[in-house]
Every structure is written in C-alpha cells, then in structure tokens.
Chain A
C-alpha cells in the first residue's frame, strides 16, 4: 500500500457494468513529506474521500477485493483516510 493525495473527481458515464456505483478520483502518489512519487493515478474510492485528502491505496490484484460481494475490475483502490502522520523526525 502507498500514500496518495486526492486531486479531484473523475466522471465516466460509459464504463464496464462491473464498475457501476464506483466513484473515481484522480490521485497523486506521495511520500511521507507529500512530495509526488510518479504520475497521478485514477483510483476507485471506498472511503468517501474528498479533494485534498491524504489517503492510502492498494494496487494490483488486491485492488479488486475491496467489496465483499463482488470483484471490481480496478487496479488502484483507495482503502483508508489518513487523519494524522506521526513521523520519526518530528519527535
């Protein structure tokens, strides 16, 4: 899993039926100091995140297991909202 910052929402009306009721966000992967890591990604959201939120996300096969009753054809899924980061150097 990695950290990310939600940049905004992505709307897609025509999509695979298995993605119905999923919300998409564009998200920039970041490190612990909020420096960007690589390209922004489009992620399926499971935690009702909003623009500007720091989140953590899972990629790869595990991204498809976010819903208990069905598998979704996603490769990046947001699985948690970060309230606070306690970093080593701040102590």
Chain B
C-alpha cells in the first residue's frame, strides 16, 4: 500500500463494466511529511474518502478483486482502502 492524498474526483460515463457504480478519485502519492510526489493515479474509492484526505491506496489487481468482491479478475488495479488519521514517525506527530 502507498500513502496518497485525494486531489480530485472524476466524472466518467463511458467506462468498463468493472467501474460501474464506483466512485472514482484522483490521488497523488505523498511523502510521510505530507508533501506531494509526482505520478497522479486514478483509484476506486471504497471508504467514502473526500478531496483533501490522506488515504491508503492498494495498487494490485488481486487485492482489488478481493476488496470489491469480484468473482473473477477485472481490469481494475488501484483501490482506496483506508483513510489515514495520523502518522507517527520517530515519536513526532505529523
């Protein structure tokens, strides 16, 4: 899993059936101190994350299949699986 920040949402009508009825968000990887990294990603939200939230993103097809309850493998890879409340590093809160 990687730490990301939700930077936006995507409105999409024409999409693969595996994305039907899913909330699609735009996330950007971040460093533990909160600074943004490059490499914007598209991720399916399962935890009702909002824009500005720090989130956990799993980027692997098999885990996406387990989380979304698909019976077979689908062309879907990145899923937001948690909202981060706090990160403690070296006993310093950030």
Contacts and interface: CB of A to CB of B under 8 A. Distances in A.
Interface of A: 1-3, 30-32, 37, 46-48, 56, 58-66, 68, 77, 79-88, 91
Contacts of A81: 12-15
A79 B76 contact: yes
Contacts, number: 103
A86 B9 contact: yes
5 contacts: A2-B40, A62-B61, A80-B16, A86-B51, A91-B51
Contacts of A79: 15-16, 18-19, 75-76
A61 B40 CA distance: 20
B89 interface: no
Given A1-B77, A62-B74, A62-B77, A32 B40 contact: yes
Majority SS of interface residues in chain B?
A: mixed
Query: What band does the interface of chain B fall in when counting residues whose beta carbon is under 8 Å from A?
Result: 20 to 34
B10 A88 contact: no
A79 B44 CA distance: 13
Closest CB pairs A-B (n = 8)? A80-B15, A1-B42, A62-B61, A87-B8, A84-B11, A79-B16, A31-B40, A56-B42
Given A2-B41, A37-B40, A79-B19, A47 B14 contact: yes
